[in-house]
Amino acid sequence: QVQLAESGGGSVQAGGSLSLSCSVSGWMYGRHCMGWLRQAPGKEREGVAYIGSDGRITYADSVNGRFTISADNSENTLYLQMNSLEPEDTAMYYCAADSSPFFCTVVPGSQRDFDYWGQGTQVTVSS
């Protein structure tokens, strides 16, 4: 089974930056959808940024322009560069993936049902 492991979380002051990484093991090259999602205490889990095997990228409106998702297929690694962080970005961040390239789009008020999930990495932004 595919396994994902996030890293790079931590605490940062508002306006700062963090870079998250997700190592994918047992991942076969091919069609896929990968993404970053987050969940804050007492809030619903939401999609942050998704990237498909065709290179299409979508972002949640709340992070658009501040976050950048990318994938290094040669290293089987997913990245999330987070700039201009705000306290509202505080959450547990998860990477996720599956072998379907369809519906690989962030949809407000919903989340994609990825097949594989990491255990999460905490991001805390203080004001």
Model pLDDT for residues 78-122, shown as the tens digit of each residue: 999 999 999 999 999 999 999 888 999 999 888 889 999 999 999
Instruction: Please check the confidence at residue 49 and state whether its pLDDT lies above 80.
Output: yes
Q: Whole-angstrom Cα distance, residue 14 to residue 16?
A: 5
pLDDT, the chain, mean: 93
What are the pLDDT digits (tens) for 27-48?
A: 656 889 999 999 999 999 999 9
Give the mean pLDDT of 12-23.
98
- Cα–Cα separations (whole angstroms), residue 24 to 17, 58, 63, 117, 125: 23, 20, 24, 10, 26
pLDDT for 28 equals: 56
Asked if residue 83 lies in contact with residue 35, where contact means CB atoms within 8 angstroms, the answer is no
